[in-house]
Amino acid sequence: MAGPATALITGVGGQDGVYLARELVSHGYHVVGTLQPGSESSRRSALPYLDGVVVRELDLRDAAGFEALLEEFRPDEIYNLAAFSSVGASWDNREHVAEVNGMAVLRMLDSLLRHRDRHGSCARFYQASTSEMFGLSKEQPQTEDTPHYPRSPYAVAKSFAHYLTINYRESYDLYCCSGILYNHESPLRGRQFVTRKITRAAAEIACGVRDRVSLGNLAVERDWGAASDYVSAMRLLLQHDEPGDYIIATGESHSLEQLLEVAFESAGLGDPWRYVDQDPALIRPTDVGGLIGDAGKARRQLGWEPTVRFEQVVEEMVQVDIRRVQSGVEESADYLVATSSL
């Protein structure tokens, strides 16, 4: 009898890696996850969330290291979540971003080709594509067929990897898919992203440890969803009979102003504008004004629907940030349990 399925998750220490690893463990998978080598602080922050996961180090640019993992664990499914994920910082790291978000994916797909069995099969492959690829899109909402107009080195490299994934599927009949995820948030979101920057600031202002927050472009809108919902879509995507590409989004757009209002209200602070400064240095050379995703294909073919509303995600992030500031404990698996259910 076949044993439990084995999943390999690159970038298991990030927000999505943690949520996906926990979801797959709860579905009986044997999960192996990789962390970037040499980052002791990321390792320490991730480990409290990764019970039951085998953790290894892998530099995404190290194709031989990736193949060694394929040979050691023979995964049934591979989720490539590791990436240089900060759009804003990608202008200052252009070559590195092209290597990690672009060329590394080409090398992984080549490794898969070399590891096909005698029937021509190999592990199913999930590529973390992103709404950022649509950038300055002329279509609202976007579908899987909307042309790309990437607006950052990050998005250009992701677009390259997205089309490579399609091309390897069509050229070599590999089971490889892309999830085109719109912004998705949780209490584990990194503090460099605008949602968490705001929820943390609201928590610190409410607890009296700071006075103000500086932001960049205030005129943006996003289709913000919940990371916990979006990792379920990743799992469903690799269970489908046919590989394909799927938009994962809520179909609702919210402004940065709404985000500020919900967060500051949740922290008991009222009007956010009393605390916000605009810092021109935080404005990107080119930005993405607003994107909305049409997840109809995922709904019809995978049965996937978002379950958590924007307001709930933001309120949850604020409440967890208040607990962090009050306790001084930054990382705890307790933070994954919804505050409303405590």
- Residue 176, SS3 per DSSP: strand
Query: Least distance (Å) from ligand G4F to the CB of residue 285?
Result: 11
Please say which residue, 220 or 325, places its beta carbon nearer to ligand G4F: 220
Whether the CB-CB separation of 142 and 293 falls below 8 Å is answered with yes
* Residue 340 backbone dihedrals phi, psi, to 5 degrees: -65, -20
Query: Least distance (Å) from ligand G4F to the CB of residue 73?
Result: 27
Helix (H) or strand (E) holding 34: strand 30-35
Closest residue (Cβ) to ligand G4F? 130
Q: Which of the following is catalytic: 10, 34, 130, 165?
A: 130
Q: Which residue has the tokens 């995922």?
A: 298
307 tagged catalytic: no
Please say which residue, 282 or 338, places its beta carbon nearer to ligand G4F: 282
Q: How far is residue 310 from each of residues 88, 93, 263, measured CA to CA in Å?
A: 23, 31, 11
Whether the CB-CB separation of 296 and 236 falls below 8 Å is answered with no
Q: SS3 letters for 74-117?
A: CCCEEEECCCCCCCHHHHHHHHHHHHHHHHHHHHHHHHHHHCCC
Q: How far is residue 1 from each of residues 4, 5, 26, 72, measured CA to CA in Å?
A: 10, 12, 20, 20
- For the CA atoms of 94, 143, 166, 74, the dihedral, rounded to the nearest 10 degrees, stands at 90
Please say which residue, 195 or 232, places its beta carbon nearer to ligand G4F: 195
Helix (H) or strand (E) holding 178: strand 176-181
Query: Least distance (Å) from ligand G4F to the CB of residue 116?
Result: 30
Whether the CB-CB separation of 181 and 243 falls below 8 Å is answered with no
Please say which residue, 12 or 69, places its beta carbon nearer to ligand G4F: 12
Which residues are 125's β-sheet partners? 78, 176
261 tagged catalytic: no
What does the alpha-carbon distance between residue 276 and residue 166 come to, in Å, rounded to a whole number? 43
Please say which residue, 58 or 194, places its beta carbon nearer to ligand G4F: 194
Chain contacts with ligand G4F (rule: CB under 6 A): 85, 87-88, 130-132, 181-183, 192-195, 197, 215-217, 220, 222, 282, 284, 287-288
Query: Least distance (Å) from ligand G4F to the CB of residue 210?
Result: 15
Whether the CB-CB separation of 140 and 292 falls below 8 Å is answered with yes
Please say which residue, 217 or 339, places its beta carbon nearer to ligand G4F: 217
Query: Least distance (Å) from ligand G4F to the CB of residue 44?
Result: 22
172 tagged catalytic: no
Query: Least distance (Å) from ligand G4F to the CB of residue 128?
Result: 8
Q: Which of the following is catalytic: 19, 29, 49, 154?
A: 154
Q: Which of the following is catalytic: 10, 19, 77, 132?
A: 132
User: What residues are labeled active site?
Assistant: 130, 132, 154
